[in-house]
């Protein structure tokens, strides 16, 4: 099929526009922070860099609670009802109210931590400032723009604010004592971007604020539950690794691990734009015809897997020069971690295709939640055993093992549920 004929189809044009918009946002969210890493790791050194990583990992839990899976469940609902302005407004208000209440609960939990636990109390200002990221994510309604497939409208807002605050890091951060300012600038970028996006959403989609009924709130809360528990389970073998490493070891070792993880995270994030852009499209296709949706997943999946294999191979082969270039001589222990985790982009891409694009859109989020919760618990026990004996290497091995397990389960259940659903149709 020629490119010109491909672009004649409205769904294809919209998909390419959203991939480009999400790609731009992904570059901002992953590549820009990666650009600051070579500077920050040298200014802060492993000890303070590890401290910031531990604080960010802690606050990420609160971000997960506040997001509550709405980036998928609300996106799916909006994509299905995008032509019904009344329904879209209902989804918008229910989602924002629930997210606000969850953010408030998260803040109270954080206050408890910094008041009663010494490890957190010693740097209470850091955790308070870092919580600004949660506020920014609460305000940023990316799920609304994704569901409406109008991502281009918030691309400029996200890019311009994040670039501005990233440049501020290079301008204002001069010594280790500026570590609080690093998190302050990052949080400010999230909050400004979220506020501007919320204003634009109100004007573009004409949403207005009101209090939905308890019944509506309960239904939307229930709709996001299994995706939330799945996301929380995934965090057990992503975010929790840095958190548990910080509890078992010291800030310096956390710094080595966090530096390597940031590079891997940025690389695997290259698939993010396509994954986010195709989600509402697949949702609509599966909602209309399961065979068509499944066929689309298989077709685009081949491209995603091939690309993921390539970037994983590059990370494996060039781990040392990449580490030397981005991190410097002080982070030599990070090289072996990069090699161990180099194929995570490929492993996670396959898992995403089967679990997120497939099972979630087939209405099987409860199934994903169950097996990921089990794997998440296994991961916590695994790294708690590995870290005391093998340190940061044990943490990296534990992450790879559990991601492989998650992918195996995702492939098995996706194929099983697809056969069952098509067979009964």
Q: What is the distance between the alpha carbons of residues 191 and 195, in angstroms, rounded to a whole number?
A: 6
Residue 62 pLDDT level (bands cut at 50, 70, 90): very high
CA angle at residue 408 from 407 to 411, to 5 degrees?
Answer: 85
**Which pLDDT band, with edges at 50, 70 and 90, does 251 fall under?**
confident
What pLDDT is attached to residue 423?
67
Q: Sign of torsion, CA 397 228 188 149?
A: positive
**pLDDT tens-digit readout, 293-318:** 888 888 888 989 999 999 999 999 99
Question: Does 5 have pLDDT greater than 80?
Answer: no
Neighbours of 416 (CB within 10 A): 13
Q: Which pair of tokens denotes residue 174?
A: 């001069």
Lookup result for tokens 């010291």: 250
**CB-side exposure of 413: number of CA atoms within 13 Å?**
27
d(Cα 42, Cα 327) in Å, to the nearest integer? 8
pLDDT band for position 1 (cuts 50, 70, 90): very low
Which residue in the block uniquely carries the two structure tokens 């979630």? Answer: 360
pLDDT in tens, 312-327: 999 999 999 999 888 8
Q: Choose between 276 and 394: higher pLDDT.
A: 394
The residue count of the chain comes to 425
Does position 6 have pLDDT exceeding 50, yes or no? no
What is the pLDDT at residue 290? 84
Residues 336 and 62: their CA atoms lie apart, in Å, by 30
pLDDT of residue 29 exceeding 70, the answer is: no
Instruction: Give the tens place of pLDDT for each residue, 144-194.
Output: 887 887 777 777 787 788 788 888 888 899 888 899 999 999 899 889 989
| DSSP state, residue 178 | G
Structural tokens at position 373: 């919760």
Q: Give the closest residue to 327 by CA, choosing from 262, 240, 375, 402.
A: 262
CA angle, corner 105, sides to 123 and 237, nearest 5?
70
Please answer whether residues 359 and 367 qualify as being in contact, where contact means their C-beta atoms are separated by less than 8 angstroms. yes
Q: Quick check: 272 and 307 in contact, CB under 8 A?
A: no
Residue spans of alpha helices (H) in 318-364: 319-326, 333-340, 344-352
Helix/strand/coil percent split, the chain, to 5: 90, 0, 10
Q: Is 200 exposed, middle or buried (0-12, 13-18, 19+ CB in 10 A)?
A: middle
- Residue 7 pLDDT: 46
Tokens of 368: 């994903």
Name the residue among 11, 187, 207, 260 with its Cα closest to residue 92: 207
Among 150, 130, 134, 131, CA closest to 142:
150
């Amino acid at each position: 099929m020629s490119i010109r004929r491909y672009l004649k189809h409205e769904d294809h044009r919209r998909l390419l526009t959203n991939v480009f918009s999400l790609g731009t946002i992904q570059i901002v969210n992953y590549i820009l922070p990666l650009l600051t890493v070579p500077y920050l790791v040298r200014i802060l050194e492993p000890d303070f860099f590890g401290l910031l990583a531990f604080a960010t990992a802690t606050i990420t839990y609160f971000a997960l609670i506040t997001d509550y899976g709405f980036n998928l469940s609300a996106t799916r609902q909006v994509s299905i009802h995008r032509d019904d302005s009344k329904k879209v407004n209902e989804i918008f208000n229910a989602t924002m109210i629930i997210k606000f209440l969850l953010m408030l609960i998260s803040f109270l939990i954080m206050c408890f931590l910094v008041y009663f636990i010494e490890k957190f109390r010693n740097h209470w200002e850091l955790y308070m400032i870092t919580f600004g990221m949660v506020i920014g994510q609460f305000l940023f309604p990316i799920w609304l723009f994704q569901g409406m497939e109008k991502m281009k409208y918030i691309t400029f807002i996200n890019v311009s604010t994040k670039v501005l605050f990233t440049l501020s890091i290079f301008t204002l951060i001069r010594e280790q004592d500026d570590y609080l300012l690093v998190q302050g600038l990052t949080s400010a970028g999230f909050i400004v971007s979220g506020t501007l996006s919320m204003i634009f959403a109100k004007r573009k989609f004409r949403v207005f604020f009101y209090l939905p009924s308890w019944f509506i709130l309960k239904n939307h809360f229930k709709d996001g539950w299994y995706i939330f528990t799945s996301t929380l389970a995934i965090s057990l073998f992503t975010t929790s690794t840095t958190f548990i490493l910080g509890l078992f070891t010291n800030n310096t070792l956390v710094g080595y691990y966090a530096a390597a993880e940031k590079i891997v995270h940025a690389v695997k994030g290259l698939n993010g734009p396509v994954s986010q852009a195709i989600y509402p499209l697949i949702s609509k296709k599966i909602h209309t015809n399961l065979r068509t949706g499944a066929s689309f997943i298989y077709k685009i999946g081949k491209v995603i897997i091939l690309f993921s294999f390539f970037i994983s191979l590059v990370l494996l082969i060039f781990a040392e020069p990449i580490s030397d270039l981005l991190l410097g001589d002080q982070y030599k222990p990070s090289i072996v971690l990069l090699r161990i985790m180099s194929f995570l982009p490929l492993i996670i891409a396959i898992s995403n295709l089967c679990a997120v694009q497939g099972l979630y859109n087939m209405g099987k989020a409860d199934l994903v939640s169950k097996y990921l919760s089990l794997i998440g618990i296994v991961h916590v026990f695994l790294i708690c055993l590995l870290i005391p004996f093998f340190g940061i290497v044990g943490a990296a091995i534990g992450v790879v093992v559990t991601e492989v397990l998650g992918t195996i389960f995702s492939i098995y259940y996706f194929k099983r549920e697809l056969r069952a659903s098509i067979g009964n149709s």
